[in-house]
Chain A
Amino acid sequence: MTLIDGVNFKPESLSALQKVTLRAVVMSFLFYGLASIEGMIMRVASVVPDIPPVHGEPEHFFSIMTVHPIIGLFGSTYQLVFAAFMFLVPYLTKKPLYSVKLANVVWLLITIGSATAWIAAFIWQYAPLYTLYWPLPADTNQFKTIGGIVFIVGVALIMFGTFGFIYNIYATIFARVGIHKNKTTKELLISGFGIDGMLNLFHKLTGRPPYTKEPALSLPVVAIFRGTVDTFLDAVVILGAGILVLVYLVADGIGSPLDLAAIDALLYKNWFWWGLDLVADGLVLIYVAGSWYLLATIITGQKLFMENVARAALMLELLVSWMVWSHHLLADQGQPEMMKLVSGEMVTAFELLTQGLALFITLVTLWKARPLKPTMELKYLLGGLVGFGLAVPAGIIQADMAMNRVLHNTQWIIGAHVHIAIIVGLYMTLYSVVYVLWPLVTNNATLWSKKLSNAHFWLHLIGGIGMGAFMGMAGLDGMLRRHMYFEGEYQTYMILAGIFGSMILLAWVLFMVNIIMSVGLKGLVGIFLPAKDDTASYGLDPEPGLVKA
C-alpha cells in the first residue's frame, strides 16, 4: 500500500547527513502548515471576528499574530534553509559536514524552541508581537510574567540552534581537508566575502591577469558564507533583546520590578531593528541570491553569467544590509532626519540594485542555456523571481518619507511586501531547492504524483500573489496590520484575501499528500530512526559541472 510503504523510498539506505537533512525538512513543513492555519484563522477573523478560536477577543487574535512569524520564519523557514545549507555546503565543497550530531541538535533546538514560544502564546496569551517594542514585552499589566519567560526561553532555544548552525557551516567551510587541504584561512576568508570577485574585476579593468582563476569557494557557498554573517548578528541582537526582557520579567516575578523607563524606547527600536532587519534585508536577500545562482547553474549545467560581478555584489549586499534599518523608523519623529534620508531612503534603495542584479544574472544564465525542460525546479525558480520582482519594489516604495507617512504599519507592508516576499519569493525558491535536492537526499526516490506537484505550484503562486495583493489594497485604504477590526471595515478585501489564502493552505495539503505518498508512513518514521551509515558527506565527485558555479 503506497500510503504505508511509499513508492520506492528506502530510509535504511540513507546516510547520517541525508537523514538529518530530511528530519529538519519534515519539521519545517509541519511548522509551515501550522503557520498557514494560523494565517487563515487571522484572515477569517478579519471578516468574522467571532470565529473560534478567536471568539472576538483581541487577546487571542494577537497571541496568534505573535507566534505566526515565530512558527513561520523560525520553525519553518530557518529549519528548511539550515537543513538545505548543511547538506549543500558539504556537497559543494566536497568535504564532510563538521558535525552531524550538531546538525541534529540544531533541528531539535529550533523545533523545541518554536513549540515552546507557541505554547507561551497559546496558554498564557503572551502577545508582544515579534517586534517586541520596548517596554511592551515586559508589560506585566497586560501579560503574565510566566508567559513572557516561557516565550523568551523558546526564542532563546531557537537562537542557540541558530548558533549551532552557524558554527557547523563555518567549521565545514574552514576545514582544511579535501580540495581545501592546501588553502589558507586567509584565502578562504577572501573568497567567502567575495573579495576575490572584486579583485578579479579590478584586475580586469586595469588590464592585469585575474587575481584568481579558480576561487577557493563556489559562488553559492560564498552566498551562504555571507548570509550567515547576518544570521549571526541577527541572532546576537534577538538573544540580547531576549535576555533584557527576561531580566525585567524575572525581577518582576520575584517582586523587585525594575524601572521600564531606564531603557530608551527609540534607541532600543534602532538596535532591535538593526538586528531584525538583517533577517529580511541581509539574510533573506543574500541567501536567496545565492540559491538562485545555484539553481540556475544546476538547472542549466552551465557557468553563471557574470560570476565576478555576482561575487562582488554579495560583498556590496553585506554593507547595504547593515545600513538600511532606518527605513523601519521613518514614522518615528525622534529619529534624526539624516538617518532617515541616508539609511532609510538612499541606502535602502540600493537593495533594488543588488536584488535586480541577482534577478538579471539568473535570468540571463537561464536564457543562454535555452531550450530548457519545464521541470518543477525551473517553474519554482521562476515563481521565486516573480515573488521578489513584486515584493522588493513594494518595500522600496514604502521606504520613502512621503509614502511611509500614509502606509506605515498598514496591510500594504505586510501583504504586498512581506507576504509576497516570503510566500512567493522565498518559498518558491525553497521549493525549487527541495525539488533539486530531492533525488540527492532520498537516493532517487520517485515522486508519487507530478499532477499534484503542478497543482501545488499554481495554487501556491496564484494564492500567494492574490492574498498579498488584496492585503496590500486594504492597506492603501488605511487598514492597519496590527489591529483587529469588528465592523467589517475592509470586508471585501479580506474576503478576497481569505479566498486566495485558502489556496495557499490547500497547496500545502497537496504538497504534503504528495510527499507522504512518495515516502510512505514507514519511510517517514524511518527518517527519524538512527542511520546505519554515518557518512557526513555526499557524493564526493558526482557531476563536476554542477558543483562548479
Chain B
Amino acid sequence: MSFSNSLELLSFHWMAYTIYAFIIISVVAWFGYNLTRKEKVKSLVRIPFYGYMAFLVAGGVGHHIFTYNVVPWVSEDITRHEITPDKTYDITIKAHQFYLPKEKMVIECGEKVMFNVVSEDLVYGFGLFRQDHTMVTQMQVNPGSRNDLLWTFNHNGVFNLMSTEYSGPRGNKMFIKDAVEVRGCDTTVAMLEGGIQ
C-alpha cells in the first residue's frame, strides 16, 4: 500500500475518519440510551482498561509509523539534505509578490524538485494547487530562515501557486495561475482539468 499523491491519501483519510466519526457518535449515543433505561443492559464487550490504553498508544504512535511507510514524501522530507535534487527553483517573495525563475517551471515526470523560497519581509506560504483547487503540497515561508521543499512529481498536471499563510489582507491576491507544469508521465488521471498530482 502506498499513496502517490495527496488525493489518494486524503480520500483514504476521508473514508477512515468518517467511519470513525460514526462509530464514536454511535458509541456515546448507545451509552446515553442505556444509561437512562431502567433495565440494566449488559455490556456488549468487556474492554480491559490496559487493553484500551494500549489501543490508544498504538493508535497514536502507529498512525505516524503507518504514514511514514506509505506516504513517500515524509522520508523524502526528513532526508532531503542528503538527496541531490534533479532541479532547484529559487523563488523570492517580497511585498506580497512572488518572484519566480525567468523560465517557466516545467518538470519532467519523476523528477525530484527543490523549491527554495525566501521571504524578504513577512511570513507567507508556498502552496501548489490543482486546477480543481485541491492541494498538491505546501510549506510555510518564514523570513530569515530556510524554506526548502523537496517534492517528487509522479503525475502530469498544471498547477497554480498560492500563498497558504495569511500575510495581511493584501496577501489574498497572491495567486499565480499555471505556475508549474509536470509532463511526461504515463499516468494521467483525466478526471481533473490539468491532471492529477
Contact = CB atoms under 8 A, between A and B. Distances in A.
A393 B55 CA distance: 13
B35 A378 contact: yes
B37 to A, nearest CB: 6
A346 B61 contact: yes
B144 to A, nearest CB: 6
Nearest to A401: B74
Interface of A is mostly: helix
Contacts of A350: 60
Contacts of A530: none
Contacts of B63: 349, 396-397, 400
B138 interface: yes
A371 B64 contact: no
A366 interface: yes
A535 interface: no
Given A139-B122, A266-B144, A353-B60, A489 B133 contact: yes
Interface string A327-357: 0010111100100010001100111110011
Contacts of A393: 17, 20
Interface stretch (B97-105, B146-154, B182-190): B146-154
B134 A478 contact: yes
B38 A371 contact: yes
B176 to A, nearest CB: 15
B145 A59 contact: no
B143 A265 contact: yes
A403 B13 contact: yes
A405 B57 contact: no
A333 B144 contact: no
Interface stretch (A220-228, A382-390, A494-502): A382-390
B143 A402 contact: no
A128 B172 contact: no
B146 A334 contact: yes
Interface string A306-345: 1000000000000000000000010111100100010001
23 contacts: A62-B168, A265-B145, A266-B145, A331-B138, A332-B140, A332-B142, A334-B145, A337-B78, A353-B57, A360-B49, A366-B35, A373-B36, A378-B32, A386-B25, A386-B28, A389-B28, A393-B20, A401-B67, A407-B10, A409-B125, A476-B14, A478-B133, A480-B162
Interface of A: 57-59, 61-62, 125, 127-129, 131, 133-136, 139, 142-143, 260-261, 264-266, 269, 306, 329, 331-334, 337, 341, 345-346, 349-353, 356-357, 360, 363, 366-367, 370-374, 378-379, 382, 385-386, 389-390, 393-394, 396-397, 400-403, 405-410, 416, 465, 469, 473, 476-480, 482-484, 489-490
Given A139-B121, A266-B144, A372-B35, 9 more contacts: A136-B167, A334-B145, A337-B78, A353-B53, A373-B36, A402-B73, A403-B9, A405-B74, A477-B134
